Amino acid sequence: MPRPQATLLALLYSLMAQLTRLLPSEFEPSPSPGPSDLLTEESLALLDGTPQSIPLALQTIAALLSHAPPSLVWVIDGLQMAESQETREHLEGFLGILRGEEREGKRVSKVCFTTDGNSAVLGRGLRVDKKVDAARLVQGRGLGGRVLKGGGGVGGLR
């Protein structure tokens, strides 16, 4: 399996494991068909670690989020290692899941993505006022502490 796909699978499976730990000890599945239907033994058995299970992993994350606490803090490091032509659509889907939760008012999610280099998915998926380009911050006192064009400080994020 190519490294970006393996990295994406590891990320998604890790997120599923963490979200599972946030589940209440007992919860009721939705009375109507929906995301909670994915939280069955049969569905979870299909998560076999193959690239074909990536869409189901994303759906499972969405289902687990429906039972998550009202506020979450996400720290995702190294997303650029999971990026390739084959994984870009899935990564964009993951960003869509995070945005959908926020848009629908279901919960507040604070997300910090740290990357070592550029990420095309984050470059297209995040507004400029949601980014800090630390490579563009002035090192030292040479420019009086000013930020270079294209850079930003953490204090400027909303």
pLDDT in tens, the chain (158 residues): 899 999 999 999 999 999 999 888 776 655 544 555 677 788 888 999 999 999 999 999 998 888 888 889 999 888 889 999 999 999 999 988 888 766 667 788 888 888 877 777 877 767 655 666 655 554 544 555 555 555 555 555 55
One domain, residues 11 and 46: yes
122 and 134 share a domain? no
Whether residues 147 and 77 fall in one domain: no
CA separation for the pair 27, 12 (Å, rounded): 22
23 CB contacts (<8 Å, ≥6 apart)? 64, 67, 68
Name residue 75's beta-bridge partners.
112
pLDDT of residue 7: 94
Question: How much is the pLDDT for 140?
Answer: 47
Whether 76 and 11 have beta carbons less than 8 Å apart is answered as yes
| Cβ–Cβ < 8 Å for 150, 133 | yes
146 in the same domain as 81: no
Could you give the CA distance from residue 130 to residue 40 in angstroms, rounded to a whole number?
36
What pLDDT score was predicted for residue 67? Answer: 84
Q: Are residues 49 and 114 in the same domain?
A: yes
At residue 94, the pLDDT reads: 92
Q: Where are the alpha helices (H) located in the chain, listed in sequence order?
A: 3-21, 41-45, 54-65, 88-103, 120-125
Q: Write down the pLDDT at residue 53.
A: 93
Full domain range(s) for residue 133? 129-158
Q: How many domains, in total, are found in the chain?
A: 2
Crossing angle, helix 54-65 and helix 88-103, to 10 degrees?
10
Q: Looking at the structure, tell me whether residues 119 and 137 fall in a common domain.
A: no
Residues 79 and 150 in one domain: no
Secondary structure class of 158 (helix, strand, coil): coil
The per-residue pLDDT for 121 is 81
Shared domain for 110 and 136, answered yes or no, is: no
Same domain, 94 and 138: no
Kind and range of the H or E run holding 127: none
